[in-house]
Amino acid sequence: MSNSDQPLGAKRRASQNDTSRNTLDTKHARLEPEMRTPIARLGIHPLSKYRQACPQFKEPREIISFSYDETRQMRMDNHQLKYYYPPRIDPMPSLFAGFEQQICRDSTKNEHIDGLLNALAYVRTKNEAAEPNDTRADFVMYRGMLTRIFVTPFSLRDAWSMNIARVGATIYVEDNVTDEMIADRSGSSEQHRRLMYSGYKFETLCMVDEPPETLSREQLDEQLAKQAREVVNTHSEYCTVFRTQLGPHSIISGAEVDCIDRAKPHEFPNRSYRELKTSRCLDSEKARNSFERFKLLKFWAQSFIAGIPVVTVGFRDDEGRLKEVQDIRTQDMPRMVRGKPRMWEANVCMNFANQVLQFIKDNVTDGGPDAQYRIEYSPEEAQVQIYSLGKRPSFLTAEYIKSLSK
């Protein structure tokens, strides 16, 4: 195992070679015809069955954090942790500036859940867990997968597909990356790429390298000027790995964190983390309604799951000019839409997710890294379906599997 001051490269996947682990597994991206019959189905409707008291949700507690550097090498440190400072909007900066110079990650590479597994293996081998069961849970998955499940009752047109493996008492979940997804990433229009870029650019305008309270006015001005000139590099990332619980289901998850408000505290750093988002200006009732119905739902789910209290939203016009910055507290988001027609409900999201996790537990029974399942949401059938894939090359890393004996 690498030391904490050395980059952690991606590890060899169990039963796979180095080439297959970094590229799309096209052979297994789709189910073979004989496996298209689900072993279990969960209907979405009626949503009224989820309108009940929220299941217990424990505040996320960070286990460890890690970084990806400018070359996408993993480091077990806070190297990429940035600090929030409100961006200057007079004069209005362009969120499209520097688009042509950006450094982008290779969208054809499938990183699976390697970063999350490597971090957990590191904690085990270094005996750095705060508590003995810190690295054991019912489920291990990135926040993005849990977010998709949370928002499904109010995003009924958005299909999703995930791969599942059960090892012992723990169920591992990853995104099922398909050829179509890779093609969509590679073939998106320039306008779409500019809009995606504007989110990264907004982040650079909001972040400095050191806690603002430790900087003089001159140092702060220098850092802000540096950030304005910064070339966007999507390889870089800071991630938190945390433990939480929804109802009876213990969960270990990982999430990218945009920035933090102050020097990172030892206990519950999530309370100081901050999400950064962008949106088109809400210049009409229709635009505001769409923002609250769709974007605010995802903002809430992402932030709530990771225990992040504030989302800072940069509103831009069609030319990419940043016109307004607004802080929205995560706990206020459900109240902002309560009672409005066709809006989402937090308790429905939480109860639905709780039921889906139980549905997975009840039907993913075969154990071992290479015994795989797939769970999919089908908008056409309004169902969540589980398929058994039989024996497949594992998406768990060999080093992680070895660490399970620690």
How confident is the model over 62-80, as pLDDT tens digits? 999 999 999 999 999 999 9
Residue 209 DSSP code:
S
Long-range CB contacts (within 8 A, 24+) of 158-162: 158/377, 158/379, 159/376, 159/377, 159/378, 159/379, 160/376, 160/377, 161/374, 161/375, 161/376, 161/377, 162/374, 162/375, 162/376
Question: What is the rounded distance in angstroms from the CA atom of residue 336 to the CA atom of residue 343?
Answer: 10
Q: Mean pLDDT in the chain?
A: 90
Confidence of residue 188 (pLDDT cuts 50, 70, 90): confident
| pTM exceeds 0.85 | yes
118 has pLDDT over 60: yes
Least confident of 2-16, 35-49, 217-231, 262-276: 2-16
Cα 225–227–229 angle (5° rounding)? 75
Confidence of residue 179 (pLDDT cuts 50, 70, 90): confident
Question: What is the rounded distance in angstroms from the CA atom of residue 237 to the CA atom of residue 103?
Answer: 13
Percent share of the chain, pLDDT over 90 = 78
Confidence of residue 17 (pLDDT cuts 50, 70, 90): very low
Contact 254, 265 (CB under 8 A): no
Cβ neighbours of residue 347 closer than 8 Å, sequence gap 6 or more: 50, 51, 52, 53, 54
What strands lie across the sheet with 273-280, from one edge to the other? 207-208, 83-84, 259-260, 273-280, 310-316, 322-329
Say how many C-beta atoms besides its own lie within 10 A of residue 329's C-beta.
Answer: 12
- Give strand pairing partners of 376: 161, 385
Look at residue 35 in the predicted model and tell me its pLDDT: 64
Look at residue 117 in the predicted model and tell me its pLDDT: 97
Percent share of the chain, pLDDT over 70 = 89
Question: What is the rounded distance in angstroms from the CA atom of residue 325 to the CA atom of residue 117?
Answer: 36
Cα 354–151–30 angle (5° rounding)? 90
Burial of 53 (0-12, 13-18, 19+ CB in 10 A): exposed
Q: Tell which wins on pLDDT, 40 or 130.
A: 40
224 has pLDDT over 50: yes
Determine the length of the chain: 406
